[in-house]
């Protein structure tokens, strides 16, 4: 039986979004323990651009590169013994896939172990954008040892990871101070955070908002300001983490999380977060804010948008 063909996005070289192309790829029948999904939405993350930017090396042997780590869709075929974290995976199931290599595609064949049921109340776009940011936020809050009575400072609180971290920290009972541009302050207030404008004087504004002090901080943007202010206000460096400023963070002795050099990828924590996140969505405790969507063929435009660093919420691709 010949494989079906489907569209996928690749980076044919290292560089900027201009190196992205859409090609036809073979989609095999799922083997034992696998499932095929028809993709309805793909989450776009800053990491996706970094993969082909040259940040992790420029070995031509690795080209072309498939992109993406998260998607949502409908199961169209299953192999024998297709079991996911929530039980058997069956044709017709609406699922979220994470971590799903090569997720920028119209169809995917993946281990069923990567698939969790999509909460009924989520749109496809929301489902496509839930997991990478949500699992990262869970990892960040665990790494800084967040407790219910803490005051926590989140830099970049209106970004994809930031919005998730705000909600999860508020749910735990923490007082959340979130930095963002003034245009995004209403969104943060709505989610239960105290918004603070970044820029000169940030440390003083945080002190004024939290006269009792700040117990922990997370840098979700990678700026010198985020690292400097965190170090100035949080006494215990083990309670400061960054998902972006790896060089500065390493020099400062704070926790490095994610996919950067020397960082803790937190694979087990992030995998365990999947059902926790879908349960929180189903219970109405967690919202996925979508900033915009692009057709799969316009992945380059989506990357240009996310590279501005000014989106509020998730960007998704729709095959």
Spell out the alpha helix ranges (H) of 115-159. 124-128, 131-143
For residues 7-15, give the mean pLDDT. Answer: 98
Query: What is the pLDDT averaged over residues 182-200?
Result: 98
User: Same domain, yes or no, for 232 and 309?
Assistant: no
- 261 falls within a domain: no
49-92 pLDDT, tens digit per residue, is 999 999 889 999 999 999 999 999 999 999 999 999 999 999 99
Cα distances (angstroms) measured from residue 36 to each of 58, 80, 106, 114, 273? 31, 12, 11, 12, 23
Residue span of the structural domain in which 48 resides: 4-130+289-318
Average pLDDT, the chain: 96
CATH (domain of 32) = 3.90.180.10
Query: Is the confidence at residue 3, as pLDDT, over 80?
Result: no
Average pLDDT over residues 143-161: 97
| Residues 102-132 pLDDT 10s | 999 999 999 999 999 999 999 999 999 999 9
Average pLDDT over every residue of 241-257: 97
- Give one word for 175, left, alpha or beta, with left for phi > 0 and alpha for psi -120 to 50: beta
| Count of domains observed in the chain | 2
The C-alpha atoms of residue 215 and residue 149 are separated, in whole angstroms, by 9
Stretch 200-206: mean pLDDT, rounded? 98
pLDDT at 12 over 90: yes
Q: Percentage of the chain with pLDDT > 90?
A: 96
Query: In the chain, helix, strand, coil percent, each to 5?
Result: 35, 30, 35
Please tell me whether the peptide bond between 264 and the residue prior to it is cis, using omega within 30 degrees of 0.
no
Question: Angle at which helices 267-282 and 131-143 pack, to 10 degrees?
Answer: 110
Contact between 41 and 89 (Cβ < 8 Å)? no
Rounded CA Rg of the chain: 20
User: In terms of domains, do 120 and 163 share one?
Assistant: no
CATH number for position 152: 3.40.50.720
Distance of CA 109 to the CA centre of its chain: 21
pLDDT tens digits for range 269-318: 999 999 999 999 999 999 999 999 999 999 999 999 999 888 899 999 99
- Residue 2 confidence class, pLDDT cut points 50, 70, 90: low
Sheet holding 20-27, edge to edge: 20-27, 4-11, 65-66
Confidence (pLDDT) at 246: 95
Which residue(s) pair with 111 in the sheet? 34
In terms of domains, do 68 and 184 share one?
no
pLDDT at 1 over 80: no
For residues 117 and 170, membership in a common domain is answered with no
């Amino acid at each position: 039986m010949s494989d079906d063909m489907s569209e996928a996005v690749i980076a044919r070289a290292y560089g900027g979004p201009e190196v992205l192309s859409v090609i036809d790829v073979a989609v095999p029948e799922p083997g034992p323990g696998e499932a095929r999904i028809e993709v309805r939405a793909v989450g776009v993350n800053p990491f996706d651009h970094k993969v082909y930017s040259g940040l992790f090396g420029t070995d031509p042997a690795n080209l072309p590169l498939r992109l993406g780590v998260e998607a949502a869709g409908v199961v169209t075929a299953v192999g024998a013994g297709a079991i996911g974290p929530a039980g058997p995976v069956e044709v017709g199931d609406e699922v979220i896939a994470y971590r799903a290599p090569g997720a920028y595609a119209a169809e995917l064949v993946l281990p069923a172990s990567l698939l969790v049921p999509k909460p009924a109340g989520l749109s496809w776009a929301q489902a496509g954008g839930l997991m990478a940011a949500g699992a990262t936020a869970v990892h960040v809050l665990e790494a800084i040892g967040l407790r219910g009575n803490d005051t926590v400072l989140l830099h970049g609180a209106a970004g994809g990871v930031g919005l998730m971290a705000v909600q999860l920290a508020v749910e735990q009972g923490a007082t959340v101070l979130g930095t963002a541009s003034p245009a995004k302050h209403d969104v943060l207030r709505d989610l239960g955070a105290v918004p603070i404008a970044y820029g000169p004087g940030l440390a003083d504004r945080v002190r004024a908002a939290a006269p009792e002090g700040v117990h922990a901080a997370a840098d979700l943007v990678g700026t010198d300001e985020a690292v400097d202010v965190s170090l100035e206000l949080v006494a215990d460096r083990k309670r400061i983490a960054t998902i972006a400023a790896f060089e500065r963070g390493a020099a400062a002795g704070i926790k490095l999380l994610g996919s950067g050099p020397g960082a803790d990828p937190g694979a087990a924590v992030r995998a365990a977060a999947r059902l926790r996140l879908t349960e929180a969505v189903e219970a109405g405790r967690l919202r996925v804010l979508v900033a915009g969507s692009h057709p799969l063929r316009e992945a380059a435009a989506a990357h240009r948008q996310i590279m501005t660093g000014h989106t509020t919420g998730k960007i998704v691709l729709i095959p």
